[in-house]
Structure 1
């Protein structure tokens, strides 16, 4: 029995999944943890990781270590994404993590992050042969064009919920001019991708904290006693636009009271929903399919394929 630990150090949150794998490759997920550390907070144009976010991250990593250090036969795959990838003080940060926690983080490139998203989505959801997959994080957005259920093109853009919100002052009361500037900036990034237009009216599969928050808000609005599963949940584009418009009208304190929207995400949700809003509008996509699986699940599937010579079925 092996305990496979995946730590996903993102720009907004840090997550850990522990899966027990038996000799035949059967999986039992035993732990799923998440801490909002906002590592990319106030990085600014100089792209320097700041002291307070670093300390929050180290504290979260310490709590994770307290859990997996008690297990036997542990294999750790620690992956750092956009915030660390972009940081000018990346080497110093990784050295500090190694010294304090004892873990060597792999800083994965954006295309690797996108590919792991692809694995997680295509092997756990009944997607159409041709679709577009979108992962919006705190400091990056990954887009994967799928044709005949294979990767056709992929890209990682250095824009996400935290850096968009902070750069364009979208945290509290939102000025129309700031929102316009933010959407124009992101639209230029998106429309500069020529192959993206091959996904016109295609199926859109989304993941990432901001996009999942959209689903959580929509599910709560259904007033259902039993919320439908987020993994595989569908939402019409018109309903997504309505939710986005309602959120823009609110200040941070008011957004914190919205069912389905975590208080820790209330100051970055507007920036986080701009990319998906523009993708929906630019590509005329009628409906969104949500995935609860992403990088961590993709890393597990990739490990199973290499270590046990097989991939998991859908």
Structure 2
């Protein structure tokens, strides 16, 4: 992991700056955090660029040139924003797309050469665990199923009595499901059926999921956040982006998903609260949630703005992440 420290010596009374660069399968995100002397922190900047790194990886799991160029451009832009901060530490993490990539080593070497960042490739279990740490730091729950649907993977954590009981990462998400089953535009019933059968078979193989039956879901990830924003727009709620702790009934999730299925790509791009560049992957991104809600007979979902980045900050402050 690259750590970048300014020339000035760190003083006890000087704020440290911790930057988390999170390279995901659909977007690259950055959070700039001020670390206080008492080891509390304050987020002072949050940035996101949609780069869709996992686009077109296909069965050979190869990162494509166009996606790599988009990602490098975003990382270079982010570097401009943080490189002159004093007392700086940068922690760069990447998840499913790079974790699965057959050309991972070439990609990471190019990022190091052109941007100066050395990425820590999180395992699926690590990603799920840091999600859990981030959620539990801000949402006090005793029993729930945490679900993070990303671009190329899905993480689940069974929370029992406030503790992580079981966790898993599965290598499918919004981008690769949408590509594999052609869920990007008008939905063909046969394609939708094939996607449903594929997902249900793989989810049924997870032995401990039965222990999460009837538990509420805690939702993370871009597709889930879009679902919350769509709901808040329809209800004309102020501060649409403030979704942390927001809840929906399972019935409302199903209603929103049904509306997505009835629209083609162009029509979905017009939905208030849904980012237009997510319109082609939103059905693939929400489908796992819908199936799990049915399988586990859960009655509601709770949205979390905290996730892997906040989990890493928490671990860093407790000296559990180097």
- Fold equivalence (TM over 0.5): yes
**Correspondence for 1:182 among 195, 218, 224:** 195
Q: Deviations over 1:10-32 (max 9, x none)?
A: 00000000101121113121110
- Give, in whole Å, the separation in 1 of the partners of 2:169 and 2:24: 14
Q: Distance in 2 between matches of 1:85 and 1:226?
A: 35
How far off its partner does 1:225 sit? 4.2
| Matches of 1:227 and 1:72, distance apart in 2 | 34
Structure 1 distance, partners of 2:216, 2:42, is 31
SS in 2 for 1:64: helix
Aligned residue number for residue 218 of structure 2: 205
Unaligned runs of 5+ in 2: 1-14
Cα-to-partner distance string for 1:46-82 (whole Å, 9 max, x where unaligned): 0000000000000000000001101011111100100
What displacement does 1:183 show? 1.1
- CA offsets 1:81-117 (integer angstroms, 9 cap, x no match): 0000000000000000000000000101000000011
Equivalent residue, structure 1, for 2:115: 101
Where does 1:8-23 land on structure 2 (aligned, <5 Å)?
A: 8-23=22-37
Distance 1:228 1:43, change over 3 A: closer
Q: Alignment partner of 1:306: what SS?
A: coil
1:91 aligns with 2:77: no
Residue in 2 that maps onto 1:260: 273
TM-score by length of 2: 0.93
Which of 53, 59, 74 is the aligned partner of 1:45?
Answer: 59
Aligned position for 1:157: 170
2:139 paired residue number: 125
SS at match of 1:61: helix
In 2: Cα distance, 1:28 partner to 1:199 partner:
34
TM-score, normalised by the number of residues in structure 1? 0.96
The root-mean-square deviation of aligned C-alpha atoms, in Å, is: 1.2
- Counterpart residue number, 2:313: 300
Aligned to 1:311: none
Aligned partner of 1:232 among 227, 233, 245: 245
Query: Alpha-carbon deviations, 1:159-189, whole Å to 9, x = none?
Result: 1000000000011111000011011111111
How many angstroms does 1:223 deviate by?
A: 2.0
1:212 and 1:196 map into 2 onto residues whose CA distance is 23
Instruction: Provide closer, same or farther for how the CA distance between residues 70 and 226 of structure 1 changes in structure 2, counting only shifts above 3 A.
Output: closer
Provide the rounded CA distance (Å) in 2 between the counterparts of 1:122 and 1:307: 16
Shift of residue 229, structure 1, vs aligned partner: 2.9
Q: Partners of 2:160 and 2:36 in 1: how far apart?
A: 34
Three-state SS of the structure 2 residue aligned to 1:103 is coil
Which stretches in structure 1 are left out of the alignment for 5+ residues? 309-314
